[in-house]
Amino acid sequence: MALTLFDLTGRTALVTGSSQGIGFALAQGLAEAGARVVLNGRDEAKLTAAAMEIPGAATLAFDATDHDKVRAAIDAFEQAGTPIDILVNNAGMQFRTPLEDFPADAFERLLQTNVASVFHVGQAVARHMIRRGRGKIINIASVQTALARPGIAPYTATKGAVGNLTKGMATDWAKHGLQCNAIAPGYFDTPLNAALVADPAFSAWLEKRTPAGRWGKVEELVGACVFLASDASSFVNGHILYVDGGITASI
């Protein structure tokens, strides 16, 4: 009986930014739990290639930072007869440079990609979920939701905003039957972190700083995602689940 709480059979999950990295791993995990997954990104060729690796996966290409295009794509998908039961807001980017030299245009791109996209896609999907009286929204935050490091202050600001936007979504939409939560990954070996993974000094620092003593593997995020996407989390709302090897628990 307990295991059936995690069964996602018959549900549809949209994962933004899912042609590679964490988004792809989460989509793959949701599919293995029974969901029909819909991959999203801007590059249709990359999405098609990624979808071929997940049985039954569909694609829905749109720019998550464009409010009107997001709304049109989501509405058309829903009107075609497939309700989105689960949304994973994963689209994101990173830019590293000292704060005093941080380019204004890079700051704006971070705001649009990491924060505005969560609002645009979250609102567009929630409007349909609210009418049905149920739905799961999972936003991808970060250890930088709670912590800061040199050279990524604007990124830290965006992930702090994702954490609070998640709480706001829960506050507004829980009464409509939605559960809105966030996963905050620690340091994972992904394309976004390729420069850090390739830096022996940084990896040595990370291994000492993290109680688990290593980089995370993207598949280690799947359990948290399936939990928050399933009936097992029916009374979990506005929560930020850190999956970080203990880095936010220690000094």
Element (DSSP H or E) covering residue 131: helix 117-132
Domain ranges of the chain: 2-244
Residue 23 and residue 41: Cα distance in Å, rounded? 10
Predicted TM-score of the model (pTM): 0.96
Catalytic residue among 119, 155, 187, 242, which? 155
Distance CA 217, CA 203 (A): 14
pLDDT at 181 over 80: yes
Predicted pLDDT at 1: 64
SS3 at position 43: coil
177 Ramachandran zone, left/alpha/beta (phi>0; psi -120 to 50): left
Active site residue 155: yes
If we measure between CA atoms, which residue out of 38, 9, 10 comes closest to residue 23? 38
What would the mean pLDDT of 130-151 be, rounded to a whole number?
Answer: 97
Fold for the domain defined by 2-244? Rossmann fold (3.40.50)
Read off the pLDDT of residues 58-91 as tens digits, 9 standing for 90 and up.
Answer: 999 999 999 999 999 999 999 999 999 999 999 9
Please say if the pLDDT value at position 2 is more than 80.
no
Q: What share of the chain is helix, strand, coil (3-state, %, to 5)?
A: 55, 15, 35
**Each residue of 6-64: pLDDT tens digit?**
999 999 999 999 999 999 999 999 999 999 999 999 999 999 999 999 999 999 999 99
**pLDDT at residue 198 greater than cutoff 80:** yes
Give Cβ neighbours of residue 107 (< 8 Å, ≥ 6 apart): 154
pLDDT at residue 251, as a whole number = 86
